[in-house]
Structure 1
Amino acid sequence: MDEQAWPARTPVSGLAKGMVLPIEGYLLSYPELVAWQRAQQNLWKSCMRRYGFNSFSPPEPGMYPPVGYDDANMARRYGISDAKEAARYGYHLPNDRGEPPVWEPAAGAEGAVFSGSGAQLAGGSYKGEKVPEGGCQGETKKKLGRISYPLASKVEFASLEESRKVAEVRAAVDKWSACMKSSGYRVTHPYKTPDLISTLGSENPSAEETALAVADVECKKTSRLVSIWFEAEKKIQNRRIEENQLALDEERKKNDEVLKVAARANGG
């Protein structure tokens, strides 16, 4: 597993370099997600070995990293923001490894012990050994718990929507749009720019796509759109976090407890 391919904590280049929104401390980071997934698999495997399934081997977590470090996805939160990436990839995702393969336990006894249901189980047992309720999957859920942060996600989404209506942001968007028009592109908002090209579904970007992407980032630079939008959203998030501080802290505390269990399952 190549952890060097994992997304950085903050954007390391481009107009969003170093930007971190306040809510990100309450979101699940990619390394935390991988740690939880690894713990889940370790507990699965430990349980399955009790029933003789020593080769039970789901795909290793962390092999198909996303572009963003967490749900905020700062590098592209306000549209593409890195000129070098724009010139090379257009609107395509850089270093895209594709989607992880679909995985399921083998049909028959393995699947029955894993899920706790199947013809191979007799009276809730497999070869005389009692299978936990819900199988090894159910046992793991009880031991490990799940990561959940609905309130943090709500703040993260709502602040982006609210920030779009801020006067300074709307003015910066208008400046960006005027800049794009002077470059030969008629588009009213950065989120609509990819609609101007038809190569997003192709393996590689076209020359037209990269030219559009470069103009997009350059106009974001001259209009200061990214920094203005970021500052506006940061203020909104600080307000929303203050309004929901106790609930957000409790949500993060519960997730931290799950991550502590995960660390023990991973040998930490």
Structure 2
Amino acid sequence: MNIPKWWIVLASLALAVPSLVSCIHEEAANSSSSDAGETREAKKEFNLASVDLPIQDFMPTANENLLIDRARNALAVKCMEGKGYAGFSLPAPVADGRDLTDRRYGLSDIVAARAHGYELPKIRESGTGEFVEKLPGDQKRALVGDKKNLSGPTFARFGCTGVAMQEIVGSAPPIVPAYQLASEIQMKSWNKSFKDPALIPFFGRWSDCMKDSGYRFKTPMDAPGSSRMTRDEAREMAEAEVVCNYESGLLKKWYSIDSGNQREEIAKQESRLREGLRKFEKQVESAKGILVEN
């Protein structure tokens, strides 16, 4: 499932919890040696890339988002042609291949760490934003509307893009995503998991592991590469972080806590989540029908 750059946003929120971080090493010192042996096994048996989070059952996939983007573009182009812009076209949309678990608990992909360090791998983009900005004023207003127009019909406010989305979603913009509740749950779940006392000994083991490689950090949230580092130095540190994330058992434990939080919220709000899912599934079916007709 796809939700891009959550880790970057959530990491900044997580750093506001100094009371937890300050007692990490004290708690870690009390952890048993048998637990340490268990974390070595965790490195072998757990792979974050092979699992999903429970809330992802209620969120769109990259392919579903792409399908809706394609339908939106098809309708927007048809609308533009109807407004007198014959031959108008839009860049083809591109699926975002990133997953909700990407960098959610720090780095977890050793191949990406060796290649990119702490930089986000570049993904192929459609270039739609740049394309729209370069349009002549009249075409741009026709496509995306006029932000200064706070009332009036959909076309005046949101242009052909708004008209297209209204047909897909079934309601006029601004549009609240059908999966908004699921998005809120996954964010709250991460923040709650970061503050869970059960992570304290694992943060301690992670910190000790990083120290063995010459780095002094208390949690993975403290360890993004510094601009003062060379690219090779950043890659070395990123690789050390991935190794320590697995070897300490941190990734497995954090994922477990995060998943548990989500299951609790799903149980409380399952009817609303399923209602949102049904709405989104209708939008996907609508998009499929539009693409067949266009």
TM-score > 0.5, shorter chain as reference: yes
Give, in angstroms, the shift of residue 248 of structure 1. Answer: 0.7
Any gaps of 5 or more consecutive residues in structure 1? Answer: 1-6, 8-13, 118-123, 125-130
| 1:107 alignment counterpart | 136
1:245 equivalenced with 2:253 (yes/no): no
For 1:229 and 1:83, the matched residues in 2 are separated by 18
* Secondary structure in structure 2 of the residue aligned to 1:266: helix
1:223 equivalenced with 2:252 (yes/no): no
| 4+ residue segments displaced more than 6 Å | none
Deviations 1:161-191 (A, max 9, x none): 1111223322211110111112211101101
Q: Say which of 24, 27, 31 aligns to 2:63.
A: 31
Call closer, same or farther: CA 1:138–1:83 in 2, change over 3 Å: closer
Q: Would you say the 8 A contact 1:144–1:261 is kept in 2?
A: yes
Amino acid at match of 2:109: D
**Taking every aligned residue pair, what percent have the same amino acid on both sides?**
28
Give, in angstroms, the shift of residue 228 of structure 1. Answer: 0.9
Which has the higher mean CA deviation after the structures are superposed, 100-109 or 208-217? 100-109
TM-score, with normalisation over the residues of structure 1?
0.77
For residues 1-268 of structure 1, the aligned pairs below 5 Å read 15-62=47-94, 65-69=95-99, 72=100, 74-97=101-124, 100=127, 101-104=129-132, 106-107=135-136, 109-111=138-140, 113-114=142-143, 135-145=159-169, 146=175, 147-195=177-225, 197-198=226-227, 206-267=231-292
For 2:119 and 2:217, the matched residues in 1 are separated by 19
**Bigger relative CO (Cα 8 Å, ≥ 6 apart):** 2
For 2:213 and 2:272, the matched residues in 1 are separated by 47
Call closer, same or farther: CA 1:162–1:44 in 2, change over 3 Å: same
Amino acid at match of 1:89: H
For 2:90 and 2:123, the matched residues in 1 are separated by 22
For 2:102 and 2:161, the matched residues in 1 are separated by 36
For 1:80 and 1:116, the matched residues in 2 are separated by 40
Higher helix share: 2
Q: Would you say the 8 A contact 2:76–2:161 is kept in 1?
A: yes
Any gaps of 5 or more consecutive residues in structure 2? Answer: 5-45, 147-151, 170-174
For 1:244 and 1:160, the matched residues in 2 are separated by 17
Amino acid at match of 2:49: K
Amino acid at match of 2:249: R
Give, in angstroms, the shift of residue 234 of structure 1. Answer: 1.0
Amino acid at match of 1:68: R
Amino acid at match of 1:87: R
Give, in angstroms, the shift of residue 137 of structure 1. Answer: 3.6
- Two-structure CA RMSD over aligned residues (Å): 2.8
Call closer, same or farther: CA 1:177–1:108 in 2, change over 3 Å: closer
Amino acid at match of 2:256: E
Give, in angstroms, the shift of residue 199 of structure 1. Answer: 6.1
Call closer, same or farther: CA 1:114–1:213 in 2, change over 3 Å: closer
Which has the higher mean CA deviation after the structures are superposed, 32-41 or 94-103? 94-103
Q: Would you say the 8 A contact 1:87–1:211 is kept in 2?
A: yes
For 1:116 and 1:96, the matched residues in 2 are separated by 28
Q: Would you say the 8 A contact 2:92–2:126 is kept in 1?
A: no
Length, aligned pairs only: 234
Give, in angstroms, the shift of residue 81 of structure 1. Answer: 0.7
TM-score, with normalisation over the residues of structure 2?
0.71
Give, in angstroms, the shift of residue 115 of structure 1. Answer: 5.6
For 1:220 and 1:261, the matched residues in 2 are separated by 42
Call closer, same or farther: CA 1:75–1:38 in 2, change over 3 Å: same
